Structure 1
C-alpha cells in the first residue's frame, strides 16, 4: 500500500516545476498535496508485521494456557499474507476469544488499542501433556475404585473432550457408572458417589443434642450416597425422622 501511495504521488508531481506553471496550476498542486497528506501519514506509520501478531498470540497461549513446568507445545495458525493492518503505536493486547484451558484448538484475540484501533483473531493449537488417571484393569459397573485399580498415563489433554483426573483422592472410593476397559482414561461422567445406604436397609442412627449422643436402629426408607439426607424409621418407636448419611449404613440426626 505504501508503494501504491508513493506511486500516485510521483505520478501527480511528474514534470511540474515552479518555473513552468502559473498560479492556477500551483493551486492544483497544493490541493493535491493536501488530499495526499492523510494517506502519506498512514504510509509513514507502516504496516503491522504479521509475525508480531502471531508472536503476541503465541506468548499469550504459552503463558495462559500451559501450566508452569508443564510439557506442551503451541502452534499458531497462519495469517493471510495479503492482510494489511496499520502498525500499532501501543503494545499489542491479547485475550482468549473462547474459554478453553484444557488445550486443543482455540482462538486468541490480538488487539491494537491506540487512536485507530483494530482487532484480529488468530487460531491456535495447544498441545499440553499431563499425567492423568486411567483404569489399571477391566472393571465392572458398580465397582468401587481403589488406588490399586488406577494407573497414571501422560496424555495430550487437548484431545480429551470429557475431562480427566490428576489426583487419586478425586476418584478413590467412587463407584463406576458403567464398565471400564484397562487403560481407559477416567472422566467425571464415568464415576459417581457410591450408594452407602439402600432402601429397606437396617442402619445405625446416631442422634445428638449438644454433647449428648445416642445410637439406635432404624430402617432406611430411601437410599443415598454420602451427604444425602434421607428418611429413616425408628425401629422401636416407628417414628419417621430425617438424617444425613455419614458412612456405610450410618445416618446422623440432629435433635
Structure 2
C-alpha cells in the first residue's frame, strides 16, 4: 500500500512540475508580447514627464497547449496599431511550429487628485483628505487637478464621494463670505486692502468683493487662494 501511495505522490509531483514549467513559459510569451507593444509605443508616441505607461498581457489560459520554442520567438501587432486592447500574434518557427494570439491591455496613465474619503460641502482640502493616484487618460473627464499643492487650503462647493476626482467646478479658491486680500496697482504702486467675497470664484475668474474699510464693492480677478486683483 505504501508503495502505491509513493507512486501516486511521484506522479503528482511530476504533474505539478510540468504545469509550473508551462506556466513559467507562458509568462515569457506574455512578456514577449508586452515588449513588442512597448517598443512600438516608444517609436510612435511620446509620454510627458508626468505620464506613465501601463502594458499588461491577459494571462494565457492553461487550456492552450504549446511547447517551449527552441528558437527566438517572432511576433507582430495585429493591424500594426496600438489600442486600449491590442492583439499580438506570437509565433514559433522551430520543428514543432505554433502560433498564438495574446491580448494586451494598454493605457496611458495621468496623475489625478481624488478624495481619500467622503467629503462634505465647505470642507477645506489638504493632504489628509485628498491623494494623488494615476488613472487611464481615457477615463478622466472634465477639468481636474494633478498636483496636491494646487488644492491645499481650497474649499469644496459640493459633497464629493470617496475616491472621486476633484474637479474644477467642485471647488472655490475664493468662496462667498471669505475674508480676502484685494490687490490693486495704481500709478505704479501696489495697494493691498482687506475685503469680503460676495461671490464664488476660481483662478482666472471674476468675483465681486466688498472693501472692508470703505464698504465699496468692486469686481476683481482671482489670482491665488483668497486673493483678488482689481484694476483702476
Whether these two folds match at TM > 0.5 is: no
What range is the shorter-chain TM-score in? Answer: 0.3 to 0.5
TM value normalised by structure 1: 0.42
Give the structure with higher Rg (CA): 1
TM-score under structure 2 length normalisation = 0.45
